[in-house]
Each structure stands twice: as C-alpha cells, then as structure tokens.
Amino acid sequence: MEKTLQNYESIIGTVATSKLRQVARDLKGASVVHVNSTKEGGGVAEILFWMIPLMNELGMDASWEVLNGNADYFNTTKTFHNGLQGNKVILSEKMIKAYEDTVEENAERLREKLADADIVVIHDPQPAYLHQLVPEKKGKWIWRCHIDASHPNRQVWNYLRSKVNDYDASIFSMPDYAQRLDHPQFIIAPSIDPLSDKNIDLSEQEILDTLSNFNIDPNRPILTQISRFDRFKDPIGVIEAFNLLNGAFNAQLVLAGGGATDDPEGAAVLEEVKEAANGNPDIHILMLPPDAHRIINALQRASAIVIQKSLQEGFGLTVTEALWKNKPVIGGNTGGIRLQVHNHHTGFLVDTPEGAALRIRRLLSNPDLMYTIGNTAKEFVKENYLCNRQLREYLTLMLGLRKGLANHLIAG
Ligand code: UDP
C-alpha cells in the first residue's frame, strides 16, 4: 500500500497525522540525507523504507544513500558491531585501514551532496567516519546508533568516539546506551510501519499457502523466531528451549532469517544452527531472501508464540512486529526487548533456554492467556511503537537542531 499520510490515518487517526504536519511545517524544503550500509536486511533498512517517503510527503527533501564496501570493510564494521555490544574483539591497524579506505572512497561520491544537506543522519558505525571527510558542512549532522552500546569494548569505542564526537547530536534507542560524548544525546526508540508488506493484514489463504510452501503444518502450534543468523540472536538457545519441550503440545519450531549485505557472519552461524537442529523434522530452518517481507509477515501471523531470545538487542523490531500481530512474545531479558516485553502483559522475558521452555509451556497450555496477552500487545504497539511516533520525535529533534535549541530540547 502506498505510504501516504492519508493511508496511515485509518490506523493512527487524524489527530496523529495532523500533529505530524504541524511539526513538519517549519522543516518544509529542508534537505535530509540518511546514510547507512545496506539497502536490505536488518532493522535500519526496515525503518528507512517508510521514513524517506513520509518525510518527502511532509514537504522535506529526503533521500537515502548506502555505502558500498568490500569484504574487509564489512568484516571490520561487524567487529565494530560486536565490540560495541561488548564482545572481546581486536581491532587491528589493517582493519582500521580497510574501514577508512572504504569510507574515503564513498566520500568522493557523496561529499557534495552531504556538504549541501540541511540535515545528515548517519546510521550506526559503518558510515560514521564520513563526518570528518566532509569538512565544509552546511547542515547539522546526527549520529543514530541503533546498537546496544551500553558496555562497549574499550578499543572499539575509543576509535568510534573519535569519529562521532564532533557530530551535532546523537540518538540512541535507550537511555542505557548513551555514552560520554561532547554533544547532546537523545533517546528515540524505533518503530514499525503498519502499512508495510511486513506488517499489513494478510488473508488467511496467503498465510496457509506460505505454511504449505515450507511444509509447516497449520494444525500444530508454531513457535517462530525471525532473525538474521547472528549469535547475539541466540538461535541455538531457541533450539535448546524447543528440545526441552520434549514433543509437548506437538509444537513446531520455525527459525527464519536471511543475511544482511553488511553482515558477513551469517553463513557460519546458519551452519551452527543446522548442526544444533540435528535433522529434527519439527525444526524448520528457513533461509529467506531479503525481500521476503510477506513471508515473514505470514509466519509471524501463523505463530502461536513468537520468540526473540536475543542475548543482546538494540531494540528488536521483530518483537514489535510480532506484538502488532497479537502475538505473545518470549524475549531475551536484554536491551530494547525489555522496553517491549512486559511480563504477563505482552509476553515473558527469559534469561535461559529453560526459562523459555517454561514460558512456552505456560502459554501453550493456556489459550485464554495467549489471547489476552495478544490483545494487550497490539494496543501497546499502537500506543508506543508505530512509525508516526518515531517520525514526530525525529522531526522535533531536527527542528530543535536547526533552531539551535539542542541543549534545551527534549524530543517528543
Ligand atoms: N528481517 C527480514 N529478513 C530476515 C531477518 C529479519 O526482513 O531474514 C527483518 C525483521 O523482520 C525486522 C528486521 O529485519 O524488521 C530486523 O530488525 P531487528 O531490530 O529485529 O534486528 P537487527 O537485524 O536490526 O539486529
């Protein structure tokens, strides 16, 4: 469905769209450039897909640039990612050179556009160095960190800090992630687009066809985790939880995910997951193409419970997507999942496979509880995590930066 404000109105209401128009009034004509490192896969791309057209409809001149990189660059940026999330990693001189060479090459292509933009939003560490490579800037630069950076590896953070410290502002998803930086930091949680193929209502037939394509039985309870194959998402822990059910409820497990073009570790993790599944026919491991949005939508809708047993998670859009579809979520007790999964209300937070198995049993043996939690979950997302709220907060922040109010501004 076309991403026009009018189409959103039926879901978010007239007042919400009117408020967006009101906030955007003073930003009309402002050029905004978002930069990240992948057009598909992962939460950032998911957000930019709806944010760019909506900003344009509100009268801004918004665009999205993607950095091109080779394997050495993406291995380094994955090391940044793992290091920011607290893993022990070593950043070698060679890796730093691969990173800087690639961003410098991209800067040649983007410099003029970025220098002229009124607002530049740099997403995550991959393009962060661009700021230093565009000396003559006209506009305000925001670093948007989507990662749980609450306990970063010191070497990685010291390097990245030297690249982001001179930005005009940064945005984190949770207060815990904010860092010592010499500029104002804002807390803005991500959100989902209810009109995207990922979240739009589907017919019962489409859901059944999707299950049939993957030989999943529609008449047995389905437990699903949708994620890139990444160790922080703990797919092996999900398999352990499933195995602890010992065949109870005749349930099936679906682990579905693809790769993101900026994530080089996916293939290795997928192999580990297949090994852990040990040929169990009730465990469906689906490697999906990057545009499988309706398939993911159908799998989430077909599920009795959605699991997101991450060990660390910046926010976890997959959780939001599941809650929006009236699904109780069993989520890892970490990061942004804690914002979304409220015990007994929208699902359950768990720390171990044993805890996950316990909560799965509790829910599957109590359909009324699943129904009540599912209804609360949808309302909770409607109130807090739909795209209009996030866009409004971004616009408020941009407005404040442009008017020089940043030190006094509370986005929202
Ligand atoms: N996603 C997808 N295909 C996949 C795996 C994930 O489209 O194979 C989507 C998923 O539905 C969600 C986003 O990518 O919208 C993942 O965002 P999240 O915040 O959960 O995790 P991230 O991948 O950014 O760490």
Q: Which atom of ligand 1 is nearest to the CA of 296?
A: 11
- The yes-or-no answer to whether 5-191+386-411 and 204-384 have a common fold is yes
410 pLDDT exceeds 50? no
Second CATH level (architecture) for the domain 5-191+386-411: 3-Layer(aba) Sandwich (3.40)
Q: Where are the domains of the chain?
A: 5-191+386-411, 204-384
pLDDT tens digits along 171-198: 999 999 999 999 999 999 999 999 999 9
Pocket of ligand 1 contains residue 232 by CB under 6 Å? no
Ligand 1 atom 14: residue of nearest CA: 42
Q: How confident is the model at residue 404 (pLDDT cuts 50, 70, 90)?
A: confident
How high is the pLDDT of residue 412? 40
406 pLDDT exceeds 60? no
In the chain, what percentage of residues exceed pLDDT 70? 97
In the CATH scheme, what is the code of domain 204-384? 3.40.50.2000
Q: Which of 296, 308, 320 to mutate to test the pocket of ligand 1 (most atoms within 8 A of CB)?
A: 296
Pocket of ligand 1 contains residue 318 by CB under 6 Å? yes
pTM: 0.93
Ligand 1 atom 17: residue of nearest CA: 43
pLDDT tens digits along 209-253: 999 999 999 999 999 999 999 999 999 999 999 999 999 999 999
Q: What is the mean pLDDT of residues 132-157?
A: 96
409 pLDDT exceeds 70? no
345 pLDDT exceeds 60? yes
Q: How confident is the model at residue 3 (pLDDT cuts 50, 70, 90)?
A: confident
Ligand 1 atom 25: residue of nearest CA: 42
